[in-house]
C-alpha cells in the first residue's frame, strides 16, 4: 500500500473514533500474516542509491539482512522519540507499553490514574523527577 494511501487510511480512522488495544492487537496480527515470507518492494532511485552505498560501505552480501537491520533501527528510533506512542495514541488510544503489556493504563491502575489524596503529597513527589 502506498504511503499516501496509508496516511489517509489512518487519518480517517482517528477522526471517526479511537481504536482500542484489542483493535491494535488484531491489526498487528493481521498485518503480520499479510507480510508472508516473501516481501517484495519497488525502490525509487534515491532509495536504491542509498541501499547501494550502504551495501558497499558495510559489506553485507545479503541485501535482505541490511533491510532487516534498517527496519530495526527505524523502529527503535520511532519508539525512543515517542513518535510510535503518538501515532498509536492517535489511532488506537493506547501506547506501545500498553500494547506490550496487553493492558491499558486504566486497567493496570483499576481506573485510579494519578488520583491521590491531598494528604499524601510526599508520596506523589517521591515519583517526580
What pLDDT does residue 48 have?
Answer: 85
Quote the domain boundaries for residue 96.
Answer: 1-25+48-108
What pLDDT does residue 56 have?
Answer: 81
Residue 88: CB atoms within 10 Å = 19
- 80 within domain boundaries: yes
- 124 within domain boundaries: no
What pLDDT does residue 121 have?
Answer: 54
Burial class of residue 94 (count of CB atoms within 10 Å of its CB; 0-12, 13-18, 19+): buried
- The sign of the CA dihedral 77, 83, 85, 91 is negative
- 75 within domain boundaries: yes
Determine phi and psi for 93, rounding to 5 degrees. Answer: 60, 35
- 1 within domain boundaries: yes
Please, what are the averages of pLDDT over each run of 10 residues along the chain (129 residues)? 47 60 87 68 85 80 84 96 96 93 88 55 47
Domain tally, the chain: 1
What pLDDT does residue 111 have?
Answer: 66
- 21 within domain boundaries: yes
What pLDDT does residue 63 have?
Answer: 80
- 82 within domain boundaries: yes
What pLDDT does residue 102 have?
Answer: 93
- 36 within domain boundaries: no
Q: Within the chain, how many helices (H) and strands (E) appear? A: 8, 0
What pLDDT does residue 14 have?
Answer: 46
Q: Is 45 helix (H, G, I), strand (E, B) or coil?
A: helix
- 97 within domain boundaries: yes
Residue 21: CB atoms within 10 Å = 19
Amino acid at each position: 500500500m502506498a504511503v499516501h494511501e496509508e496516511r489517509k487510511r489512518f487519518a480517517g480512522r482517528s477522526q471517526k473514533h479511537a481504536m482500542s488495544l484489542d483493535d491494535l492487537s488484531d491489526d498487528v496480527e493481521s498485518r503480520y500474516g499479510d507480510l508472508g515470507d516473501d516481501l517484495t518492494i519497488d525502490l525509487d532511485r534515491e532509495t536504491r542509491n542509498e541501499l547501494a552505498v550502504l551495501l558497499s560501505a558495510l559489506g553485507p552480501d545479503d541485501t535482505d539482512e541490511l533491510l532487516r537491520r534498517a527496519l530495526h533501527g527505524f523502529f527503535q528510533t520511532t519508539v525512543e522519540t515517542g513518535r510510535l506512542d503518538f501515532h498509536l495514541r492517535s489511532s488506537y488510544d493506547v501506547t506501545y507499553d500498553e500494547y506490550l503489556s496487553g493492558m491499558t493504563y486504566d486497567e493496570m491502575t483499576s481506573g485510579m490514574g494519578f488520583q491521590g489524596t491531598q494528604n499524601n503529597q510526599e508520596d506523589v513527589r517521591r515519583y517526580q523527577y
